[in-house]
């Protein structure tokens, strides 16, 4: 075990080489992690047994929370299925094949995306990354979630007309670890269309994590970027007085870094309740453009729905000023996987190919001021994609 933990600490030291964290702070925190001591402001038992699944072909294994953290630091992706060891798939009728429309709403979409700006994203991300960490088992993780709910409410109050505001609900999906997932719903004009075609979902994850969870984790790119990207798309739609035909939901998941815990809870609940979902797209890391590479939108092709993924490519072609590029991310890579797991159709868009993505994640260096490679204009392309996806799939009631 000690050699395993040593490997973890060596990986974390990479952040120190850039002068990201005082050595004394790192040393004290590392010693606490090794000893099992939990600092004030965190609620976690490092010796708690968790049931973890590393691939769909492997039997889930029991391991301690400490061992799970180590696996994450070593780059392994997984579902923590302790709370959802079995799941009820969505009824076949709800997960049935749905034809995706041809892109034909440019006249409605383009005026909205013309009014999207980076201003709000910069302000929102500066605040979101000011919390020491958004780790899902920390006090500041709860505080950052509460701020997010407040900010969504402020945007709704500022930009939604009275009639539109009556269609909007903001709900906290409660989790036992303290940081709740946030669900924003815009009720569609046609209950019949929602029942027949399903609710349209767009998601990001609000939590952040350092390789050792007690260390600072600003999480600017992972996934502060996706969180404020979809928030800007929401603002732009409200400013255009958008009312969907079908229900639309924006999701900000808790505890993605803990093994997709928040999204699993939400997706399994929707499936158990028989809620019809048209499609779900996840935006996780939307800010980074690696120096010397072509600016692109990465379209993940593994563990996703192929037809929905192809539809996303057409949306990029229609509404973004940069091209798409295919990439792969692996098993349980982000929250879209929770929806695929229960039988709904999901897709995933990321900042680039996985190889060219931001390597500062899960460290103190995941900051918005770390490099010119962190690009708010790149994030804006994903806001455009979000608007296009929502309007093309959920329609626009006039």
Residue 358 has pLDDT above 60, yes or no: yes
Q: List, as own/partner pairs, every contact residues 2-9 make where C-beta atoms lie below 8 angstroms and the sequence separation is at least 24, other chains included.
A: 2/34, 4/67, 4/70, 5/33, 5/34, 5/66, 5/70, 7/70, 7/74, 8/69, 8/70, 8/73, 8/74, 8/211, 8/212, 9/212
Specify whether 49 is located in the same domain as 161. Answer: no
Q: What is the pLDDT of residues 163-184, one digit of tens each?
A: 999 999 999 999 999 999 999 9
In sequence order, which residues have a C-beta less than 8 Å from that of residue 174 and are 6 or more positions away?
A: 180
Q: Does a structural domain hold residue 191?
A: yes
Q: What is the pLDDT of residue 100?
A: 83
Residue ranges making up the domain that contains 9: 2-80
Specify whether 189 is located in the same domain as 320. Answer: yes
Residues 73-84 have a mean pLDDT of 95
Q: Does a structural domain hold residue 199?
A: yes
Residue 340 has pLDDT above 80, yes or no: yes
Specify whether 321 is located in the same domain as 385. Answer: yes
Residues 7-13 have a mean pLDDT of 45
Q: Does a structural domain hold residue 240?
A: yes
What is the rounded CA–CA span in Å between residue 168 and residue 158?
13
Full-model pTM: 0.93
In sequence order, which residues have a C-beta less than 8 Å from that of residue 63 and are 6 or more positions away?
A: 49, 50, 52, 71
Q: What is the pLDDT of residues 145-157, one digit of tens each?
A: 999 999 999 999 9
Q: What is the pLDDT of residue 89?
A: 74
Specify whether 131 is located in the same domain as 8. Answer: no
Residue 8 pLDDT level (bands cut at 50, 70, 90): very low
Q: Does a structural domain hold residue 101?
A: no
Q: Does a structural domain hold residue 176?
A: yes
61 compared with 11, residue with greater pLDDT: 61
Q: What percent of the chain has pLDDT over 70?
A: 89
- What is the domain count for the chain? 2
Q: What is the pLDDT of residue 209?
A: 98
Residue 20 has pLDDT above 70, yes or no: no
Residues 234-256 have a mean pLDDT of 99
| Contact (CB, 8 A) for 274 and 245 | no
Residues 267-283 have a mean pLDDT of 96
Residue 16 has pLDDT above 70, yes or no: no
Q: Does a structural domain hold residue 88?
A: no
Residue 94 pLDDT level (bands cut at 50, 70, 90): low
Residue 391 has pLDDT above 80, yes or no: yes
Residue 101 pLDDT level (bands cut at 50, 70, 90): confident
Q: Look at phi and psi of residue 343 and say left if phi exceeds 0, alpha if psi is from -120 to 50, else beta.
A: left
Q: What is the pLDDT of residue 121?
A: 99
Residue 21 has pLDDT above 60, yes or no: no
Count of all residues that appear for the chain in the document: 398
Tell me the CATH number at 336. Answer: 3.40.630.10
Specify whether 129 is located in the same domain as 32. Answer: no
Q: Does a structural domain hold residue 97?
A: no
Residues 334-350 have a mean pLDDT of 97
Specify whether 225 is located in the same domain as 295. Answer: yes
Residue 235 has pLDDT above 60, yes or no: yes
Specify whether 299 is located in the same domain as 157. Answer: yes
């Amino acid at each position: 075990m000690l050699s395993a933990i040593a490997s973890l600490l060596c990986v974390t030291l990479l952040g120190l080489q850039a002068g990201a964290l005082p050595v004394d702070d790192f040393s004290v925190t590392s010693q606490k992690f090794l000893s099992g001591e939990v600092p004030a402001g965190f609620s976690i038992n490092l010796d708690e047994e968790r049931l973890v699944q590393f691939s769909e072909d492997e039997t889930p294994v029991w391991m301690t929370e400490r061992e799970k953290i180590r696996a994450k630091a070593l780059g392994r992706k997984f579902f923590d299925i302790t709370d959802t060891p079995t799941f009820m798939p969505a009824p076949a009728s709800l997960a049935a094949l749905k034809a995706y429309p041809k892109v034909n709403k440019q006249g409605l979409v383009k005026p909205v995306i013309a009014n999207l700006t980076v201003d709000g994203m910069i302000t929102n991300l500066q605040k979101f990354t000011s919390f020491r960490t958004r780790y899902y088992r920390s006090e500041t993780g709860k505080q950052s979630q509460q701020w997010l709910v407040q900010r969504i409410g402020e945007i709704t109050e500022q930009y939604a007309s009275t009639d539109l505001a009556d269609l909007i609900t903001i709900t906290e999906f409660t989790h036992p670890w303290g940081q709740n997932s946030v669900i924003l719903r815009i009720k569609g004009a046609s209950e019949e269309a929602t029942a027949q075609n399903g609710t349209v979902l767009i998601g990001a994850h609000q939590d952040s994590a350092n390789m050792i969870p007690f260390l600072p984790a600003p999480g600017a790119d992972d996934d502060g970027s996706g969180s404020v990207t979809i928030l800007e798309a929401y603002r732009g739609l409200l400013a255009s007085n958008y009312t969907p035909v079908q229900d639309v939901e924006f999701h900000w998941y808790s505890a993605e870094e803990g093994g997709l815990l928040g999204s699993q809870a939400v997706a399994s609940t929707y499936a158990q309740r028989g809620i019809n979902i048209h499609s779900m797209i996840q935006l996780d890391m939307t800010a980074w453009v690696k120096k010397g590479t072509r600016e692109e939108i990465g379209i993940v092709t593994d563990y996703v729905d192929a037809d929905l993924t192809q539809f996303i490519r057409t949306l990029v072609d229609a509404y973004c000023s940069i091209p798409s590029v295919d990439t792969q991310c692996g098993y349980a890579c982000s929250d879209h996987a929770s929806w695929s797991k229960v039988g709904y159709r999901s897709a995933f868009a990321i900042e680039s190919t996985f190889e060219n993505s931001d390597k500062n994640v899960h460290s103190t260096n995941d900051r918005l001021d770390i490099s010119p490679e962190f690009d708010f204009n790149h994030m804006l392309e994903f806001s455009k994609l979000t608007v296009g996806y929502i309007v093309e799939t959920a329609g626009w009631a006039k």
